[in-house]
Amino acid sequence: MGRYIKKYPILLLVAGLVAGNLYCEASVNVPCSFDTTITNLREFEVVSRIETKEVKASMPLQIITGAEMEQLGITDIADATRRFSGVNVRDYGGLGGIKTVSVRNMGASHTAVSYDGAPVDNIEGGQVDIGRFSLNNISRLSLAVGQKNDMLQCARLYSSASVLGITTRQPQFRGGKSFSMEAKIRTGSWGYVSPYIKWSQKITDRLIASIDSDYTRSDGNYPFTLENGSETIKERRNNSKIGNWHAEANIHMPLSDAHQINVKGYFYHSKRGVPGAVTLYNPVSTETLWGRDAFVQVKYRGAFSKRWKLQVIGKYANGWSRERETGVQYTGGIWQAEYTQNEYFISGAASYNPIDRLSFGIAQDVMVNTLSSTRSSCPFPSRTTSYTSLTAKYEGGRYELTANLNGVVTSERVKTGKTPDSFKCMNPSVGATWQPIADIGWNIRAMYKKTNRLPTFNDLYYDRLGVRTLRPERADEYNIGTTWICEIHGIPDYFSITADGYYNHVNDKIVAMPSTHNWRMMNYGKVNIYGIDINAFVSFSIYDRIRLNLSGTYSWHNTSDITDSKASNYKAQLPYSPQHSGNCSLTFSSPWIEAGYSLVGVGKSYYMAQNIPANILDGYIEQSFSLGHEFHLTKCSLAIRGEILNLGNARYEVIKYYPMPGRSFRISFNFKI
């Protein structure tokens, strides 16, 4: 695909002039509805009502819509996820850097990722790189601590400490048309170009198909400053070039108002240089990483009566990666390895309401994972995992109670060496919310949840590092909080605030420890995590179709290692765990212009276990600004948006020796038919 961009740049200009964007329509999607008619709704009012219901949930839930991400100039999933309170995104720099999500400092392996309701897993490393997902077709992004308040979710999602949910947009059609098309082109600093196109076709009233695709390339060699004592050195990132292509096809079959089937095919391919850590006088990196992820999933969801509902999901996923590095230290001057993962997944979930206000749910998942590699030491492992979930929920007039019991059973097989023991566990969770005063939107909520993080294939089998006797990490989550929601007729017309205090405890933490001749994985670690998360949102309806939204979050974490009371790092803050973080955003929308400003601030942290001044990683504040206007033509519209990222040109690192980009610019063209 990259060669077409180089040879036919005029095609990109044409694509820009026929670019399309349906973000505003996406923000009001109701996932279970396939209504193909469009009514000019006041999008922000609808979104507010959705938030009102979900803010009251017993387990903390945060949401950002596709329209909001577009207006704030958010660049990718990682950038959007940083806007949630309690989140620590580990970013290794630039578009090509791996990006993982840790919620409330539990570790990225404790965060499950779902894509349109089906879990996304990486059994090899345990951490899902969210940088592979495109923002172009996303309706909303949600983050649930514990689990979402959905009786029909997969049992696999109940087994994680938190869930990052990605929901894609469903096709919509204007003016009675049977098709819709949108295309977009975005370009910016350091050779960044990203064209996108989507076609949706209404074949019959009960059959709708869509296909979308995007390509992204960037040189990525942004400048940075290297400090060496009193000397300041101007450098430029190298080996940062990336090219990735994503395509997705969907078939939507609303069999009736109560039954629907969705079929999704997903493909992602990337080739990227791995810039590596920046060290003095040796900034050169020669490593290249290829990746390919593909899956097909089928989802049925239906209601057989007012009391019975059912969901069934089937999925097959394939992941392939290749690493290559050159250097005189390798035989023949080159080192290369390939890895292939396969996943087979099936899930069934049912809910039953025997009486009003009382509901029960059951979910059963079976997942089979395999790993193969060109490395001679690979034991070709396979794992079969069964997840079973039982849920009960009672919704009173002013309170809600939820209880869940989640069971996990694993069976491991290898072709060579000792087979790890099977694992079984039963993990409970309970949640409650209470409205002390009727007709006042003030609620108190509390939650407890127990989870386990299974060892990954790398933890168990990686050459000279893996240990096959590892136990799963055990985690306990406690949360107590309050929410206040106020909807009024005036200026402002909507206000909400949530505040949660929490305590997490992790036992048998899996860490790499030095042994006699090399490093080995071990169950060696106890971690205490205390924290506070605060979220606030206020919306002003200034005049007809003129609206101002202001939101902000703040998080305080105290994450300490309590493994060994005699160790020098006893009760010290864990590496890369800042105590303070937060963000705020301001968006303005009118018939003439849309503008957005956002600020993300992160306090200092330590990049080593010892909390000494030499190990401090400085905090930072990053600002972004976007400005756009939509021109309404006879039967179409053209939108132009400009973005300034890292407005203050802040120089900072999320991971030590991996400098992040400074100020950059982007512009996009969108066209609606």
- DSSP code of residue 421: P
482-490: long-range pairs with CB below 8 Å, 24+:
482/442, 482/443, 482/444, 482/445, 483/55, 483/56, 483/441, 483/442, 483/443, 483/445, 484/441, 484/442, 484/443, 485/52, 485/55, 485/56, 485/441, 485/443, 486/441, 487/48, 487/52, 487/441
pLDDT for 129 beyond 90: no
The radius of gyration computed from the CA coordinates of the chain, to the nearest angstrom, equals 25
Q: What are the tens digits of pLDDT across the range 327-378?
A: 877 888 888 899 999 999 999 999 999 998 999 999 999 999 999 999 888 9
Q: Calculate the CA dihedral of residues 601, 603, 604, 607 and round it to 10 degrees.
A: -70
The model carries a pTM of 0.86
pLDDT confidence of 616, banded at 50, 70, 90?
Answer: very high
**Which amino acid, 50?**
I
- Burial (Cβ within 10 Å: 0-12, 13-18, ≥19) of residue 259: middle
- The pLDDT value given to residue 376: 86
Q: Which residue has the tokens 């765990």?
A: 577
Q: What are the tens digits of pLDDT across the range 622-672?
A: 999 999 998 887 777 788 999 999 999 998 888 888 888 889 999 999 887
CB-based contact 136:393 (threshold 8 Å): no
Q: Report helix, strand or coil for 47.
A: helix
Query: Do β-strands 162-168 and 111-115 pair in parallel, antiparallel, or remain unpaired?
Result: parallel
Q: Which one, of 59, 105, 118, lies nearest residue 525 by Cα? A: 105
447-450: long-range pairs with CB below 8 Å, 24+:
447/58, 447/59, 447/60, 447/145, 447/146, 447/477, 447/478, 447/479, 447/480, 448/476, 448/477, 448/478, 448/479, 449/146, 449/147, 449/161, 449/476, 449/477, 450/474, 450/475, 450/476, 450/477
Give mean pLDDT, residues 100-106.
Answer: 89
E strands in 396-518? 399-413, 423-434, 442-453, 473-487, 494-507, 510-514
Give mean pLDDT, residues 187-196.
Answer: 93
**Cα angle at 100 between 291 and 156, to 5 degrees?**
90
* Residue 61: CA count within 13 A, CB half-sphere: 20
- In sequence order, what are the beta bridge partners of 242? 218, 272
* Angstrom distance (rounded) from CA 219 to CA 362: 49
Count of helix runs (H) and strand runs (E) in the chain: 8, 37
Q: Which one, of 126, 130, 210, lies nearest residue 173 by Cα? A: 210
- The pLDDT value given to residue 97: 66
- The pLDDT value given to residue 638: 84
* Angstrom distance (rounded) from CA 427 to CA 410: 14
Cβ-Cβ contacts under 8 Å for 138 (sequence gap 6 or more) = 26, 66, 69, 77, 166, 167, 168, 169
- The pLDDT value given to residue 663: 92
Give mean pLDDT, residues 253-263.
Answer: 92
* Structure tokens given for 587: 């968006």
CB-based contact 454:112 (threshold 8 Å): no
Q: Which one, of 368, 362, 382, 383, lies nearest residue 314 by Cα? A: 368
* Angstrom distance (rounded) from CA 253 to CA 570: 57
* Angstrom distance (rounded) from CA 487 to CA 539: 10
Q: What are the tens digits of pLDDT across the range 519-538?
A: 788 888 899 999 999 999 99
CB-based contact 545:590 (threshold 8 Å): yes
- The pLDDT value given to residue 543: 81
- If you write DSSP's letter for every residue of 141-190 in order, what string do you get? EEEEES--S-TTS-HHHHTSSEEEEEEEPPP--STT-SEEEEEEEEEETT
Q: How far apart are the first and last CA of the chain?
A: 26
- The pLDDT value given to residue 396: 85
pLDDT for 99 beyond 90: no
Cβ-Cβ contacts under 8 Å for 592 (sequence gap 6 or more) = 629
Whether omega before 420 lies within 30 degrees of 0, making that bond cis, reads no
* Structure tokens given for 595: 């503008």
- The pLDDT value given to residue 27: 34
* Angstrom distance (rounded) from CA 111 to CA 455: 14
Q: What are the tens digits of pLDDT across the range 202-237?
A: 999 889 999 999 999 998 888 887 776 677 778 888
